[in-house]
Structure 1
């Protein structure tokens, strides 16, 4: 059993909440289970509701034009509730020192971002959050990291890219939608890679998984170099749909290589 704690002082009186997870490792589409315990503080407080959810800190880009007519861009972060389960919506008087214990389960969406592989944590800003509605105030400051591992088909794609020589540089969450995909959440996850030398016309690659119960849309954004093999650089989107039983990373690698190589320009032998 893995014990994870989220402690939050809520308003005057300091009610707190502690959450114990049965396991802090899960795959998309599966359930996280555990027990929540709220403990009264120094004075009686009114609990108007208790919920547990999966939250993500997401980057959002913006553009603006200054007073001199020059265009600028930047980004800021927003908080997104990916999934939430209401444990209680009844008004309860929590006396000083009183303990209120509630079991819970929360289904992690199929499209939830991957936060970890077997040996490495990948994505910050994603985790479980317990919220207490206390005396007309809402506490939602504590987020407990959750290890969301890739599905077998997702893992096969990640292995395929690694076998082709792509090196992962980072992982981000971006606000927005990708057209003509099975995306449902208002954001998507990008795995950023540097390109191996055998793809001479390619500078970098970004990978996104958009997943539901039927399968996975694999979206590749190829950043092409300027000058070497192209008159102009720029981005190129490639889309590949795979089923949940497509776990042969060598087969996927061959398919990805064919697509990437035809776009990057140089023919190389796999």
Structure 2
């Protein structure tokens, strides 16, 4: 269970917010259920907005490699707004959060940590024009079964993982993206491709019944989930990637 608690920096005796997720790991397209508890401080206050964000690390928004201080938003929703919170009073709200199919991955292949993949929940409280966004409370996003098949196929074909990066915008090859970011997965080419020391970069453009593998500006391979198995996945990726890249 992911759990976060922060004592707001909005002043002495300010309200306190506590957020608990029903699980500590999800998959893209699933619903996360959050319990948000708001406790009044030493005086009555008017809450302008209580919001809940799912955030990720945008590589191109951070000045230092590995730093995470300026996150990008995956989901943003208002939990409550325009109400009075009495001193010492408590409000408990149940908040469903639907994760996009393109939610950045943090774990792959049965639980292996994906370097560069970070996702968190962040609770925002606004009072009298002041905003406290609190700290990040990270949780895991595991691959869809079909995504694991793809990653296992790349491994079987000799590709080696490096890292993942989330960038702002929409991939040029995308035809079904509903978000304003993409997660780029980087892998080293195997020797037979003739790209010594070079990387293959691709993006999962997932949806309910299928996904596209976006190879930068080079091409797009669509894989339907129905009937997808390891052999078919490996065969299609091998043929397509060799047609694009092998020298």
Instruction: Report the TM range for the smaller structure's normalisation.
Output: 0.7 to 0.9
Counterpart check, 1:190 vs 2:184: yes
**SS of match in other structure, 1:5:** strand
Q: Distance in 2 between matches of 1:174 and 1:258?
A: 28
- Other-structure match for 2:22: 22
- Other-structure match for 2:5: 6
Give the TM-score normalised by structure 2: 0.85
Determine if contact 2:189/2:195 at 8 Å carries over to the other structure. Answer: no
- Other-structure match for 1:179: 172
Query: Where in structure 1 do 4 or more consecutive aligned residues deviate above 4 Å?
Result: none
Shift of 1:36: 0.9
Q: Distance in 2 between matches of 1:132 and 1:171?
A: 31
Shift of 1:153: 1.4
Q: Distance in 1 between matches of 2:33 and 2:127?
A: 24
Q: CA, structure 1 residues 156+102, in 2 after alignment: closer, same or farther (shift >3 Å)?
A: same
RMSD: 2.3
Shift of 1:8: 3.9
Determine if contact 1:5/1:20 at 8 Å carries over to the other structure. Answer: yes
Counterpart check, 1:159 vs 2:152: yes
Determine if contact 1:55/1:79 at 8 Å carries over to the other structure. Answer: yes
Determine if contact 1:174/1:188 at 8 Å carries over to the other structure. Answer: yes
**Range with greater deviation from structure 2 (102-111 or 192-201):** 192-201
Between Structure 1 and Structure 2, whose CA radius of gyration is higher? 1
- Other-structure match for 2:45: 45
**What's the CA shift string for 1:162-199, capped at 9, x where partnerless?**
11111111111012222242222111001111111222
Shift of 1:257: 1.4
Determine if contact 2:34/2:97 at 8 Å carries over to the other structure. Answer: no
- Other-structure match for 1:87: 79
Q: Distance in 1 between matches of 2:15 and 2:219?
A: 51
Q: Distance in 2 between matches of 1:37 and 1:59?
A: 32
- Other-structure match for 2:214: 219
**What's the CA shift string for 1:219-267, capped at 9, x where partnerless?**
124xxxxxxxxxxxxxx6221011233531221111211222234435x
Determine if contact 2:2/2:137 at 8 Å carries over to the other structure. Answer: no
Q: CA, structure 1 residues 77+134, in 2 after alignment: closer, same or farther (shift >3 Å)?
A: closer
Alignment of 1:106-185 (within 5 A): 106-117=97-108, 118-122=110-114, 123-181=116-174, 182-185=176-179
**SS of match in other structure, 2:177:** coil
Count of matched residue pairs: 236
Give the TM-score normalised by structure 1: 0.79
Counterpart check, 1:244 vs 2:191: no
- Other-structure match for 2:236: 255
Unaligned runs of 5+ in 1: 62-75, 222-235
Unaligned runs of 5+ in 2: 62-67
**Range with greater deviation from structure 2 (114-123 or 192-201):** 114-123
- Other-structure match for 2:64: none
Shift of 1:141: 3.4
Determine if contact 1:218/1:239 at 8 Å carries over to the other structure. Answer: yes
Shift of 1:79: 3.2
- Other-structure match for 2:91: 100
